[in-house]
């Protein structure tokens, strides 16, 4: 989620394009003047379609094309980002940095968020009557190991309790 709404960006950019200075708007809205100038550049190019999500840029090939467009036309990060209607020129900088570091594979979309800590346990869809002998043996071995771990954990807990009682 963006820090500033799309509507606010367009309003501030239109005020700048109407002749208000970026420093005045910066003080009025507590936003950097550089950010305001970037927003106004995007609005000047794209108008009402500014800051719309660009799903096609999630693909590595499209990101590479964006970088090639910048290199071919000798554009700056800011101008290229404005031409591509990106939320921030920083996004293009990240792509460029990843491309220099890892090549094309660095441009692949990476999922966000914290990965799950739970191990993926394969659960058989067979009922007990349909399982083979090997599947049943494997399940018994797993349950025995799980039981042993729980017993050891309980034993350690009791030992710890006894030690704390002795200290008192």
- 31 has pLDDT over 50: yes
Least confident of 14-23, 144-153, 157-166: 157-166
pTM: 0.60
Residue 153 and residue 167 in one domain: yes
**26 and 65 share one domain:** no
Q: How many beta carbons lie within 10 A of that of residue 75, not counting itself?
A: 15
Cα 152 to the center of its chain, rounded Å? 40
1, pLDDT greater than 60:
no
Confidence at residue 43, expressed as pLDDT on a 0 to 100 scale: 93
Calculate what percentage of the chain has a pLDDT beyond 90.
Answer: 42
Distances (CA, A) of 121 to 117, 124, 139, 142: 12, 9, 12, 11
Last residue of a domain, one of 110, 140, 158: 110
Same domain, 89 and 47: no
pLDDT of residue 125: 59
71 occurs within a structural domain = yes
SS3 124: coil
Same domain membership, residue 66 and residue 35? no
Which stretch of 43-47, 114-118, 148-152 has the lowest confidence by average pLDDT? 114-118
Q: For position 71, what pLDDT does the model report?
A: 92
Which residues span the domain enclosing 61? 53-110
Rounded distance between C-alpha atoms, residue 95 and residue 74, angstroms: 17
pLDDT at 123: 58
Give the residue-averaged pLDDT of 42-60: 84
> Which pLDDT value is given to residue 144?
94
User: What's 39-63 look like in SS3?
Assistant: HHHHHHHHHHHCCCCCHHHHCHHHH
For the chain, the domain total comes to: 3
- Is residue 30 a part of any domain in this protein? yes
Higher pLDDT among residues 68 and 131, named by residue: 68
CB 85 within 8 A of CB 50: yes
């Amino acid at each position: 989620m963006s820090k500033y709404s799309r509507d606010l960006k367009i309003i501030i950019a239109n005020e700048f394009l109407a002749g208000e200075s970026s420093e005045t708007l910066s003080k009025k809205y507590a936003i950097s003047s550089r950010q305001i100038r970037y927003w106004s550049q995007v609005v000047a190019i794209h108008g009402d379609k500014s800051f719309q999500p660009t799903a096609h840029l999630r693909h590595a090939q499209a990101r590479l094309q964006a970088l090639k467009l910048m290199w071919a036309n000798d554009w700056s990060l800011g101008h290229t980002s404005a031409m591509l209607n990106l939320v921030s020129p920083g996004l293009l900088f990240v792509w460029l940095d990843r491309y220099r570091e890892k090549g094309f594979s660095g441009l692949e979309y990476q999922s966000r968020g914290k990965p799950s800590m739970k191990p993926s346990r394969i659960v058989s869809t067979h009922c007990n009557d349909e399982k083979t002998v090997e599947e049943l043996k494997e399940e018994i071995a797993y349950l025995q190991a799980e039981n042993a771990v729980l017993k050891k954990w309980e034993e350690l807990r009791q030992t710890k309790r006894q030690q704390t009682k002795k200290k008192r």
